[in-house]
């Protein structure tokens, strides 16, 4: 009788897009992808989403509703899109930390902040979502936008989010999802697999990285399984909101 493959707690750890890998190799592979795409990341986001990512991020920050005096942590937020929106919304009176595993992405974010004349209120930290370099119960709000699907062990990152949030703190994740509406599903999958890599090839001169990014969307957990994993990690009252037919999804939870 053939042996069956043991299910892992974090099945995504064994996959780099559609390619099976050793879990210990994934973090380095992802770091290399974002080092490669950092310089064109914002431009490619506009092209890939038709500019919709800006509206989605506006929606996310409205849901976060950051307040002056709060401590906010944006993980995998290297280019600063969420942090800068929170900075504007709080008139520079929140304590905002951006944490990203890739120094090249953080450099893009720092440059963007300077372009906006922002030199205070933002802290930039190199760190891994699975092992955040912050004390327990440090932040009022944790956000991660289009980053969780690139984490090697999603459950470890969710537990870290719960650890660094204060009691009563809120968790927000915005991510592309494979769980789009049935009418959109065949067109969405074809767009991810056939169009995104071509855009990467001609605009960023990097087809392979965008092939991975497209495949990573289709390997990411759908809405309900991710909400269950949030609950298991200590993020209570998990819920989600579909945007644009479920192409992007905002998950929310509480650290009680």
The 3 state secondary structure assigned to 137-158 is CCEEEEEEECCHHHCCCHHHHH
Does 189 fall in a domain? yes
Which tokens belong to 65?
A: 């509703």
Q: What is the CATH number of the domain that holds 55?
A: 3.40.50.150
Instruction: Say if residue 134's pLDDT is above 90.
Output: yes
Does 79 fall in a domain? yes
Instruction: Say if residue 1's pLDDT is above 60.
Output: no
Q: In the chain, what percentage of residues exceed pLDDT 70?
A: 97
Q: How many residues does the chain have?
A: 256
- What is the pLDDT confidence band of residue 106, given thresholds at 50, 70 and 90? very high
Instruction: Say if residue 202's pLDDT is above 90.
Output: no
- Nearest-CA neighbor of 145 among 117, 175, 114? 175
Q: How far is Cα of residue 205 from the mean position of the Cα atoms in its chain?
A: 23
Does 132 fall in a domain? yes
Domain that holds residue 246: 35-255
**Average confidence (pLDDT) over 58-68:** 98
Instruction: Say if strands 248-255 and 165-176 run parallel, antiparallel, or are unpaired.
Output: antiparallel
- Name the DSSP letter for residue 203: I
- Nearest-CA neighbor of 179 among 217, 143, 151? 217
Does 197 fall in a domain? yes
Which residue, chain included where needed, has tokens 């994934």?
Answer: 26
Does 208 fall in a domain? yes
**Average confidence (pLDDT) over 232-254:** 97
Does 11 fall in a domain? no
- Name the DSSP letter for residue 50: T
- The structural domain count of the chain equals 1
pTM confidence score: 0.93
**Average confidence (pLDDT) over 135-139:** 98
- What is the pLDDT confidence band of residue 8, given thresholds at 50, 70 and 90? low
Angstrom distance (rounded) from CA 113 to CA 101? 19
- What is the pLDDT confidence band of residue 161, given thresholds at 50, 70 and 90? very high
Instruction: Say if residue 27's pLDDT is above 70.
Output: yes
Angstrom distance (rounded) from CA 241 to CA 80? 23
Instruction: Say if residue 146's pLDDT is above 50.
Output: yes
**Average confidence (pLDDT) over 98-109:** 94
- Nearest-CA neighbor of 81 among 195, 35, 89? 89
- What is the pLDDT confidence band of residue 209, given thresholds at 50, 70 and 90? confident
Angstrom distance (rounded) from CA 91 to CA 128? 28
Does 3 fall in a domain? no
Phi and psi angles of residue 183, each rounded to the nearest 5 degrees, phi first: -65, -30
* CA geometry: angle 219, 22, 79, nearest 5 deg: 55
Does 10 fall in a domain? no
Angstrom distance (rounded) from CA 167 to CA 20? 38
């Amino acid at each position: 009788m053939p042996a069956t493959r043991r299910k892992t707690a974090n099945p995504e750890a064994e996959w780099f897009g559609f390619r099976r890998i050793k879990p210990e190799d994934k973090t380095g592979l992802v770091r290399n992808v974002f080092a490669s795409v950092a310089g064109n990341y914002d431009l490619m986001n506009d092209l890939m989403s038709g500019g919709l990512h800006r509206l989605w991020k506006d929606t996310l920050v409205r849901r976060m509703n950051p307040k002056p005096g709060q401590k906010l942590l944006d993980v995998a937020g290297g280019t600063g899109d969420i942090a800068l929106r929170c900075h504007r919304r709080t008139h520079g009176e929140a304590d905002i930390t951006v944490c990203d595993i890739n120094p090249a992405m953080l450099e893009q974010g720092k440059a963007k902040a300077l372009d906006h004349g922002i030199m205070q209120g933002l802290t930039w930290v190199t760190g891994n979502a699975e092992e955040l370099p912050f004390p327990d119960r440090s932040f009022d709000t944790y956000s991660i936008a289009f980053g969780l699907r690139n984490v090697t062990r999603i459950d470890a990152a969710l537990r870290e989010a719960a650890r660094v949030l204060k009691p009563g703190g809120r968790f927000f994740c915005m991510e592309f999802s494979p769980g789009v509406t049935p009418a959109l599903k065949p067109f969405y999958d074809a767009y991810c697999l056939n169009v995104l890599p071509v855009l990467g090839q001609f605009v960023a001169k990097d087809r392979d990285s965008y092939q991975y990014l497209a495949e990573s969307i289709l390997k990411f957990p759908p809405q309900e399984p991710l909400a269950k994993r949030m609950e298991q990690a200590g993020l209570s009252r998990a819920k989600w909101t579909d945007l644009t037919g479920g192409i992007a999804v905002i998950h929310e939870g509480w650290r009680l």
